Amino acid sequence: MNLLEIEALHKTFILHLRGGLRLHALRNVHLTLEEGECVVITGASGAGKSTLLRTIYGNYRGDGGAVRVRAGSEMVDMLNSTPRRITALRRDHMAYASQFLRVIPRVPTLDLVAQVLLDQGIDPSEAEDRARSLLWQLNLPASLHALPPATFSGGERQRVNIARAFVGNHPLILLDEPTASLDLENTMVVRELILSAKAAGRGILAIFHDPDFVAQVADRTYSISFQAEICG
């Protein structure tokens, strides 16, 4: 069963500081993702890999085509959804770990991760236990759980981001270079999280730059060869 269907997706940015020039970032993207599958997006820098993930998640609005995300028995087109509908899809059906952690300042790390489960209706005690267990698995010690991640190193913040993406019951997980700031030990933890998620029937669309890591987790790759271009 498909969790994600992309058809003829286009995305253009208007460069207002350059007199309204148009930057074509994505053109004619076709992609599907099934349950229990990991697809890794490949392509040169500037090809639009991160833009694709952000458009799927609804941070960017596509200009043409379709991005359909499974919500139970329904496929919902992100390009034609209201902000309220997109928020509900993110809460229940689609998780995203970006390259950077953007969260409310001064909120403890444990609360940030547990909140994902609380939003899905999980009992607070269970949510806290699951969040704590995953943070330990990602080698974030208990001494850090009560601290806000703004005080953390880049690798520690990235692991909080990963924990928020995997802790919930989202069928679809989007990962944008989640291991870029991690050492080998923690990269292998992420590999195990991906393999476990696949075994549970969750689908993962990801960007990784290490070909050896890609070979360990990917069922297939999807190449974006189009380079962004500016047109008048």
Spatial CA neighbour of 70 closest among 7, 9, 5: 5
> For residue 230, what pLDDT is reported?
58
- Domain hosting 40: range is 1-93+214-232
Domain with residue 57: its CATH number is 3.40.50.300
Q: What is the pTM of this model?
A: 0.93
Q: Tally the domains of the chain.
A: 1
pLDDT at 199 (0 to 100) = 98
Contact 171, 203 (CB under 8 A): yes
Q: Decide if 26 contacts 226 (C-beta within 8 A).
A: yes
Q: If the chain, 232 residues long, is cut into consecutive pieces of 10 residues, what is the mean pLDDT of each piece?
A: 96 66 82 97 88 94 94 95 96 92 82 97 97 97 94 91 96 95 94 98 96 96 74 58
Domain membership of residue 68 (yes or no) is yes
Domain contains 12: yes
Domain membership of residue 2 (yes or no) is: yes
Does 209 map to a domain?
Answer: no
